[in-house]
Amino acid sequence: GGRVSAEVLKRVRVYAGVSRDKNNRDGDATRRLLVGGYATNVLKTGLDLSASDSLMDRASGSYHSRYVQVGRQFGRRLYLSGDYSTSLSVVRFSRSDGLVIETRPETTRVSGSATATVSSSWSLMGTVEQTWETGLTDVRALTGLTYRIR
């Protein structure tokens, strides 16, 4: 596959791509089209925006996977972001020899993240997300500490 990106305005990039891949080792090849873009400091508000739409074209039918993210820096040490995505694929372990992608009717995910810079080398990160599938709801929290090696 391949991907092309271009800066259409200052701090605004768009991209498009096409590829053929397999979701499962034993599955048929799938055509995937991707369009998206991102912009930083939109209208001088400090907001960063990112969005993409991916079209998967399978023999069993085609579907879209969408992603939107909004983020903003607060001061010199804190970055907050939120995102929304929809998808039809969920990764699950099902065989001893690897992963199988399980197709579900639809998965919707909403999350919020915060990254706080503690020092020039240390940062704290936290994420809370909720996913909805047909008949299932899942809430997760992830925290972490990172150290930058210079």
The separation between the first and the last C-alpha atoms of the chain, rounded to the nearest angstrom, is 35
Residue 35: per-residue pLDDT: 96
pLDDT in tens, 113-148: 999 999 999 999 999 999 998 778 999 999 999 999
Q: Other CB atoms closer than 10 Å to residue 36's CB: what's the count?
A: 19
Answer yes or no: are the C-beta atoms of 37 and 51 closer than 8 Å: yes
Residue 22: per-residue pLDDT: 73
pLDDT in tens, 64-84: 889 999 999 999 999 999 999
Q: Cα–Cα distance between 130 and 29 in angstroms, integer?
A: 31
Instruction: Name the token pair of 136.
Output: 């299932």
Q: Which residues pair with 110 in a beta bridge?
A: 84, 130
pLDDT in tens, 94-115: 667 667 766 666 889 999 999 9
Q: Cα–Cα distance between 72 and 112 in angstroms, integer?
A: 12
Taking the CA atoms of 68, 62, 24 and 140 in sequence, report the sign of the dihedral they define. Answer: positive
Q: Report if pTM > 0.95.
A: no
pLDDT in tens, 31-57: 889 999 999 999 999 999 999 999 887
Q: Which of 126, 129, 122 is nearest to 142 (CA)?
A: 126
Residue that the structure tokens 């500490």 belong to: 145
Residue that the structure tokens 């508000």 belong to: 45
Region 54-65: mean pLDDT is: 78
Residue 104: per-residue pLDDT: 62
Q: Cα–Cα distance between 60 and 24 in angstroms, integer?
A: 14
Q: Cα–Cα distance between 71 and 57 in angstroms, integer?
A: 31
